[in-house]
Amino acid sequence: MSHGNMNLTLKVWKQKNKNERGRFETYQAKGISPDMSFLEMFDVVNEGLINEGKEPIAFDHDCREGICGMCSMYINGRPHGPKEGITTCQLHMRSFKDGDTIVVEPWRSAAFPVIKDLVVDRSSFDRIMAAGGFVSVNTGNAKDANNILIPKDDADTAFNAAACIGCGACVAACKNASAMLFVSAKVSQLALLPQGKIEAKNRVLNMVKQMDEEGFGNCTNTGACEAECPKEISLENIARMNREYLGASLT
Amino acid sequence: MSNTSGFLFSSLGKKVVMGATGLFLVTFLLVHCFINALIFFNDGGLTFNIGAHFMGTNWLIRTMELVLFFGLVLHIVQAAVLTRENQKARPVAYANPGGNVSSSWYSRSMGLLGTLLLMFLIIHLAHFWVKSRFTGIPTEDANGHEDLYAIMQETFKQLWVVVVYVLAMVSLAYHLLHGFQSAFQTLGLNHKKYTPLIKKTGVCFSIVIPLIFALMPLAMHFGWIK
Ligand code: SF4
Ligand code: FES
């Protein structure tokens, strides 16, 4: 496929604000290069819309390199589209065929209300973090990095959990709109390290409490979250959180 | 212990109840299957009736029957509560719900499979349990035991009953295929070494137990055992 000759039909969710019901609208994306990212394709479409004096499609984005977790788009029935281990900004148009119809929806979750079109409010994640996703330390001089020795395995597992970018694809993918993978990653990244162990009990209790209050669903272990997570966060984290929670509740 | 009461009403606590009652029901299936498989001695039900007599008269088993009933109700009620909450968590459905790429259909259909099993269970209890515990079994076998075996033969003469039982066992197989390993995950029992073993055991259990159960009506209907 040479440059700039892909023509696609987009069915995109349009919604004015939180309170409006919203509907699908159809757009033509013409002259798209297979080397464009999915977001760049949206930029082209939006430019066209602006030139025609129409309202562009609102979507979230920031880093455009898979680290900020903003680009929430549910593409053809999958969060972040048809590829594994990437975000929407890392998805390229060569993953589609000329003439394809692509359905793009916002994340669907009671805890992620749609603000406009494809933009959702994920501040429920922030409130979960504020409930316990931290370690309390006295400020002062930075300590020597090797002051506290940490087994390599623990450090790696914690680091893998910390790779979570809070994108919410796990919630979007889950049939129950459950936030277990996200919360478990955040619980794990701290519970595995000596600095985090001190507050581990209250952390897991408070974060789960906040998660429930935000209206996320209950995990039924379908594994869709792990399959769709751009950072490939493992289900083992959920088991770890279950363990931590059980322990913290019963003692 | 300040958090114990909150625990049972939290999302994770409710899931623990589901997993724990589920595993308890798994042990029941094992015992039930073992006792019923005595029909395959093909001795006109003599051995099976001994087993049935023991299960019906032993006080420990009778007590466990109550616990079982309680566990089952808890499993069902909790499932209903969780399902309702989960539906509320996604008020607007996706136009394109996605397919089986990221999760299996049966892991997403536990409620449906469970409802089918509940419907089967009502039929099944009416067929055998009500008779053996309440309305009484009219005939006795050569050992002087109530002839539950004869009731089985009578019941499985009807083709529709056999069809319903076999289909129910297919539902059971898929319900277990997800439920067995899922319970361990919920209870936090996930381990690099043991999880693969648990998963394999779960798959074997989910195939073997429903298969043995399904063979019972089939064997009786088609006269493989007399
Ligand atoms: S666990 Fe994965 S899918 Fe969920 S928020 Fe973190 S990075 Fe995104
Ligand atoms: S825009 Fe930052 S992850 Fe996609």
Query: Which amino acid residue places its CA nearest to atom 3 of ligand 2?
Result: A66
Q: Are the C-beta atoms of A9 and A96 separated by less than 8 Å?
A: no
Q: What is the homologous superfamily of the domain A6-116 according to CATH?
A: Beta-grasp domain (3.10.20.30)
Angle among Cα A251, A148, A162 to the nearest 5 degrees reads 70
A58: left (phi over 0), alpha (psi -120 to 50) or beta: beta
Do A243 and B188 make contact, defined as CB atoms within 8 angstroms? yes
Residue of chain A whose alpha carbon sits nearest to that of B87: A176
Please choose from A40, A72, A89, A120 the residue to mutate so as to test ligand 2's pocket, defined by most ligand atoms within 8 A of CB: A89
CA distances from A112 to A81, A106, A187, A213, A233 (A): 19, 9, 21, 13, 20
CA of B75 vs chain A CAs: smallest distance (Å): 14
Q: Are the C-beta atoms of B124 and B131 separated by less than 8 Å?
A: no
Which atom of ligand 1 approaches the CA of A228 most closely? 3
Query: How many Å is the Cα radius of gyration of chain A?
Result: 20
Could you state, in order of their start, the residue ranges of all structural domains in chain B? 2-221
Q: Among B6, B94, B108, whose Cβ lies nearest the Cβ of A108?
A: B94
Cα of A161 vs centre of ligand 1, distance in Å, is 9
Give the strands of the sheet with A101-105, arranged side by side: A23-32, A6-14, A101-105, A74-75, A78-79
Q: What is the dihedral of CA B186, B187, B193, B197, to 10 degrees?
A: -70
Query: How many Å is the Cα radius of gyration of chain B?
Result: 20
Q: Among B1, B14, B108, whose Cβ lies nearest the Cβ of A218?
A: B14
Q: How many CB pairs under 8 A join A and B?
A: 141
Residues with CB under 6 A from ligand 2: A 61-64, 66-71, 87-89
Q: Which of B3, B7, B12 to mutate to test the interface with A (most CBs of A within 10 A)?
A: B12
Q: Which of A104, A201, A222 to mutate to test the interface with B (most CBs of B within 10 A)?
A: A222
| ipTM field | 0.89
Enumerate the residues of chain B whose CB falls inside 8 A of the CB of residue A105: 94-96
By CB atoms closer than 10 A (0-12, 13-18, 19+), residue A144 is exposed
End-to-end CA distance of chain B: give it in Å, rounded. Answer: 58
Tokens of residue B88, six digits: 């509320």
Concatenated DSSP letters for A139-176? -SSPPPTTSS---HHHHHHHHHHHT-----HHHHH-TT
Q: Tell me how far apart the alpha carbons of residues B222 and B226 are, in angstroms, rounded to a whole number.
A: 9
Cα of B38 vs centre of ligand 1, distance in Å, is 51
Q: Are the C-beta atoms of B4 and A248 separated by less than 8 Å?
A: no
Which atom of ligand 2 approaches the CA of A62 most closely? 1
Domain B2-221 class in CATH: mainly alpha
Do A239 and B190 make contact, defined as CB atoms within 8 angstroms? yes
Q: Tell me how far apart the alpha carbons of residues B224 and B226 are, in angstroms, rounded to a whole number.
A: 7
Residue at B40: amino acid letter? F
pLDDT score, position B4: 57
A122-250 matches A6-116 in CATH topology: no
Tokens of residue B183, six digits: 């319970």
Enumerate the residues of chain A whose CB falls inside 8 A of the CB of residue B11: 178, 208, 211-212, 216-219
pLDDT score, position B2: 45
DSSP label at residue A89 = G
CA atoms within 13 A on the CB side of B160: 2
**Topology at the third CATH level for domain A122-250:** Fumarate Reductase Iron-sulfur Protein; Chain B, domain 2 (1.10.1060)
Per-residue pLDDT of chain A (251 residues; tens, 9 = 90+): 556 789 999 999 999 999 999 999 999 999 999 999 999 999 999 999 999 999 999 999 999 999 999 999 999 999 999 999 999 999 999 999 999 999 999 999 999 999 999 999 999 999 999 999 999 887 788 778 788 899 999 999 999 999 999 999 999 999 999 999 999 999 999 999 998 999 999 999 999 999 999 999 999 999 999 999 999 999 999 999 999 999 999 88
Q: Which of B1, B81, B88, B96 to mutate to test the interface with A (most CBs of A within 10 A)?
A: B96
Could you state, in order of their start, the residue ranges of all structural domains in chain A? 6-116, 122-250
B42: left (phi over 0), alpha (psi -120 to 50) or beta: left
Enumerate the residues of chain A whose CB falls inside 8 A of the CB of residue B85: 217-218
Residue at B29: amino acid letter? L
pLDDT-flagged residues of chain B (< 50): 1-2
Enumerate the residues of chain B whose CB falls inside 8 A of the CB of residue A208: 10-12
Do B14 and A205 make contact, defined as CB atoms within 8 angstroms? no
Enumerate the residues of chain A whose CB falls inside 8 A of the CB of residue B178: 221-222
Cα of A21 vs centre of ligand 1, distance in Å, is 27
